[in-house]
């Protein structure tokens, strides 16, 4: 009943906005004016090339798999990257009492068979070190991923070769040639790599040569660093030593301090710099262009608003607009932008005790979709061809059927001075009004259309604010889970029939608040094709 009333309120507000077309334009009015015949080119789909996940062993859980299937359906992600593929909980390597080596890929098989069954390919991260192969005992995270170099680099290379051969036999060379192989994770941070940069390059060399020995067609890269680091050094090392390097990869987060804090104890502060995230991407792109390998693909295999899974920016309604803003700014400067991560089934700091805790995920542990989820769901509903558009905070598209999509948002930085994310984003934060946005579509064929309007923002597909309204319960009842899921589906809040006349023009005005997101879809009405 509550959901029904909420939907009525949303529809009523939108209907009022649509009926206000004859009113004088607000001083704050924003205009989006596009012509469906003016195609800028194919819509760049780097936004859903790759998505992140915590660690491989979590991918054996039934709830993790259900959530991945949901986001694959809604957002269309094509690859997934995760830590811990070679860690002890995946059981890949041991040495018996007689000193004989044993390889075991059964857990990896179960995981990868599932991924491929739903149309998701591995973006393979090779790490961490099996303890039986490691030179030391230093580990990271609750699940104790070993971060020390191998005792014997040749044995490391042999493990990588055996695994690559196994995949080739199981899935075929043509399939594995579509994957990416990335060596390690954030070796420039002491927490993730107990060796030096030179040690990492040696680790990379053995892995890359092992992979290429199975098939020259396989793609391998690195250094998967934190903070956009080591890209010039990586390229210089590969070229000087004739080591295979098919792409470079690194990470960035939109906060002002540090890189590794799985407990969120230092207090993160969302960067006010409007070039946060994109500034790193463009820096790396310039470094590549100035290198001996200027055409190398660049993959950001982790990015988000914050580097800690204890940051409520990840849960907040602000996140949907933040994601869209950063992806729009980045454009095609990177070949993928892998959001870290798709689910709060993520145990770097151990199992979490709260339903919403600032986790990295686009869904929480129970599969409740956070506002950020809908940034990707809405992007995936756009058409195939992008239209020319002078507005910096929107994307307009058309598809082969002539259906038009407009995804628009407001991104406003609202964090007050002197307060951190953990103190601010846990609150109910009503947005300020930003006037209205006038959307005009031109060149539409005359006829009958259905206009569907979907929203994300404050109390619009906003399970986190609804959870705060419940009193922020750490544990949820089944009824509460169902209620929160029902408030965050991404379904259109309004559908209406629009008749386009001989002028080919569709125009509507929408009320805009801080960090609102709208998806408008204009499609031929069933049984009433445009003529």
Residues 211, 297: one domain?
yes
Are 237 and 214 within 8 A, CB to CB?
no
Residues 322, 400: one domain?
no
Among 357, 387, 417, identify where a domain stops: 387
Asked if the model's pLDDT at residue 5 lies above 70, the reply is: no
Asked if the model's pLDDT at residue 531 lies above 70, the reply is: no
The pLDDT tens digits of the residues spanning 124-161 come to 999 999 999 999 999 999 999 999 999 999 999 999 99
Residue 77: Cβ-neighbour burial (10 angstroms; 0-12, 13-18, 19+): buried
The 3-state secondary structure of 469-489 reads HCCCCCCCCHHHHHHHHHCCC
Q: Does residue 14 lie within any of the structural domains?
A: no
**Cis amide prior to 56 (ω within 30 degrees):** no
Once rounded to an integer, what is the mean pLDDT over residues 191-206?
Answer: 98
Are 518 and 453 within 8 A, CB to CB?
yes
Given pLDDT bands bounded at 50, 70 and 90, which one contains residue 1? very low
Asked if the model's pLDDT at residue 162 lies above 70, the reply is: yes
Q: Does residue 12 lie within any of the structural domains?
A: no
If one counts the domains in the chain, the total is 2
Q: What's the pLDDT at 256?
A: 76
CATH number for 102: 3.20.20.80
Q: Does residue 15 lie within any of the structural domains?
A: no
Residues 451, 479: one domain?
yes
Q: How far is CA 358 from CA 312, 334, 436, 484, in A?
A: 4, 27, 31, 17
Asked if the model's pLDDT at residue 12 lies above 60, the reply is: no
Residues 130, 277: one domain?
yes
Q: Note if 173 is an active site residue.
A: no
- Cα–Cα distance between 386 and 415 in angstroms, integer? 33
Residues 310, 414: one domain?
no
The 3-state secondary structure of 86-142 reads CCHHHCCEEECCCCCEEECCHHHHHHHHHHHHCCCEEEEEECCCCCCCECCCCEECC
Residues 37, 52: one domain?
no
How would you classify the pairing of strands 79-83 and 50-55?
Answer: parallel
The pLDDT tens digits of the residues spanning 460-469 come to 999 999 999 9
The mean pLDDT value of the chain amounts to: 92
Residues 381, 394: one domain?
no
- Cα–Cα distance between 336 and 297 in angstroms, integer? 9
- Cα–Cα distance between 466 and 462 in angstroms, integer? 7
Residues 378, 422: one domain?
no
The pLDDT tens digits of the residues spanning 473-495 come to 999 999 999 999 999 999 999 99
Among 348, 369, 387, identify where a domain stops: 387
* Residues of the chain above pLDDT 70, percent: 92
Question: Rounded to two decimals, what is the model's pTM?
Answer: 0.92
Asked if the model's pLDDT at residue 9 lies above 50, the reply is: no
Q: Does residue 17 lie within any of the structural domains?
A: no
Residues 346, 401: one domain?
no
Are 458 and 515 within 8 A, CB to CB?
yes
Q: What's the pLDDT at 310?
A: 92
Residues 395, 382: one domain?
no
Asked if the model's pLDDT at residue 229 lies above 50, the reply is: yes
Asked if the model's pLDDT at residue 260 lies above 60, the reply is: no
Among 365, 387, 409, identify where a domain stops: 387
Given pLDDT bands bounded at 50, 70 and 90, which one contains residue 525? low
Q: Does residue 10 lie within any of the structural domains?
A: no
The pLDDT tens digits of the residues spanning 57-86 come to 999 999 999 999 999 999 999 999 999 999
Q: What's the pLDDT at 29?
A: 84
Given pLDDT bands bounded at 50, 70 and 90, which one contains residue 262? low
Once rounded to an integer, what is the mean pLDDT over residues 12-25?
Answer: 38
CATH number for 405: 2.60.40.1500
Q: Does residue 7 lie within any of the structural domains?
A: no
Once rounded to an integer, what is the mean pLDDT over residues 248-261?
Answer: 78
Given pLDDT bands bounded at 50, 70 and 90, which one contains residue 2? very low
Candidate list 49, 182, 186, 386, residue with the active-site label:
186
Q: How far is CA 491 from CA 7, 263, 456, 518, in A?
A: 10, 34, 10, 12
The pLDDT tens digits of the residues spanning 281-310 come to 999 999 999 999 999 999 999 999 999 999
Q: Does residue 11 lie within any of the structural domains?
A: no
Q: What's the pLDDT at 265?
A: 65
Q: What's the pLDDT at 526?
A: 63
Q: Does residue 161 lie within any of the structural domains?
A: yes
Residues 186, 282: one domain?
yes
Asked if the model's pLDDT at residue 194 lies above 70, the reply is: yes
CA 337, 343, 347, 353 torsion: positive or negative? Answer: positive
Asked if the model's pLDDT at residue 257 lies above 60, the reply is: no
∠ CA(67), CA(260), CA(130), 5° rounding?
70
Asked if the model's pLDDT at residue 179 lies above 60, the reply is: yes
Q: What's the pLDDT at 308?
A: 92
Residues 518, 445: one domain?
yes
Residue 477: phi and psi, rounded to 5, are -80, 165
Q: What's the pLDDT at 463?
A: 98
Tell me which residue range forms the domain holding 442: 30-41+390-524
């Amino acid at each position: 009943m509550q959901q029904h009333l909420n939907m009525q309120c949303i529809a009523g507000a939108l209907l009022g906005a649509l009926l206000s077309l004859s009113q004088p334009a607000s001083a704050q009015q924003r205009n989006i004016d596009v012509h469906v015949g003016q195609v800028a080119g194919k819509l760049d789909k780097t936004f859903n090339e790759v998505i992140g996940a915590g660690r491989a062993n979590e991918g054996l859980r039934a709830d993790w798999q259900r959530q991945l299937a949901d986001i694959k359906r809604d957002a269309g992600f094509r690859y997934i990257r995760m830590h811990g593929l070679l860690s002890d909980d995946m059981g890949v390597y041991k040495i018996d009492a007689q000193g004989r080596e044993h390889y075991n890929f059964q857990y990896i098989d179960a995981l990868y068979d599932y991924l491929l069954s739903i149309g998701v390919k591995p973006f393979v991260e090779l790490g961490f070190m099996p303890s039986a192969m490691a030179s030391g005992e230093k580990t990271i995270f609750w699940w104790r991923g070993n971060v020390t170099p191998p005792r014997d680099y040749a044995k490391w290379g042999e493990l990588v070769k055996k695994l690559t051969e196994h995949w080739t036999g199981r899935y075929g060379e043509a399939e594995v040639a579509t994957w990416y192989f990335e060596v390690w994770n954030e070796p420039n941070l002491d927490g993730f790599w107990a060796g030096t940069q030179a040690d990492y390059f040696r680790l990379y060399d053995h892995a890359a040569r092992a992979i290429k020995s199975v098939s020259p067609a396989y793609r391998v890269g690195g250094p998967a660093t934190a903070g956009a680091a080591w890209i010039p050094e990586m390229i210089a090392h590969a070229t000087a030593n004739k080591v295979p390097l098919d792409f470079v990869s690194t990470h960035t987060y939109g906060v002002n301090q540090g890189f590794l804090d799985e407990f969120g104890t230092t207090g993160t502060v969302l960067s006010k710099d409007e070039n946060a995230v994109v500034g790193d991407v463009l820096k790396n792109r310039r470094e590549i262009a100035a290198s001996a390998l200027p055409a190398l693909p660049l993959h950001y295999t982790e990015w988000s608003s914050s580097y800690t899974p204890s940051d409520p920016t990840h849960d907040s309604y602000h996140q949907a607009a933040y994601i869209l803003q950063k992806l729009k700014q980045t454009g095609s400067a990177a070949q993928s932008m892998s959001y870290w991560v798709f689910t709060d089934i993520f145990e770097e700091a151990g199992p979490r005790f709260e339903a919403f805790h600032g986790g990295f995920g686009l869904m929480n542990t129970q599969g409740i979709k956070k506002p950020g989820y809908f940034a990707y769901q809405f992007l995936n509903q756009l058409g195939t061809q992008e239209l020319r558009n002078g507005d910096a905070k929107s994307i307009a598209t058309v598809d082969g059927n002539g259906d038009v999509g407009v995804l628009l948002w407001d991104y406003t930085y609202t964090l007050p001075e002197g307060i951190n994310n953990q103190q601010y984003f846990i609150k109910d934060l009503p947005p300020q009004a930003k006037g209205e946005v006038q959307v005009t579509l031109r060149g539409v064929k005359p006829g009958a259309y259905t206009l569907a309007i979907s929203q994300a923002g404050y109390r619009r597909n906003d399970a986190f604010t609804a959870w705060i309204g419940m009193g922020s319960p750490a544990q949820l009842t089944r009824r509460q889970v169902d209620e929160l899921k029902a408030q965050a589906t991404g379904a259109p809040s309004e559908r209406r029939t629009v008749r386009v006349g001989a002028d080919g023009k569709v125009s509507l005005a929408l009320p805009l608040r801080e960090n609102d997101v709208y998806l408008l879809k204009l499609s031929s009405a069933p049984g009433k094709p445009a003529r």
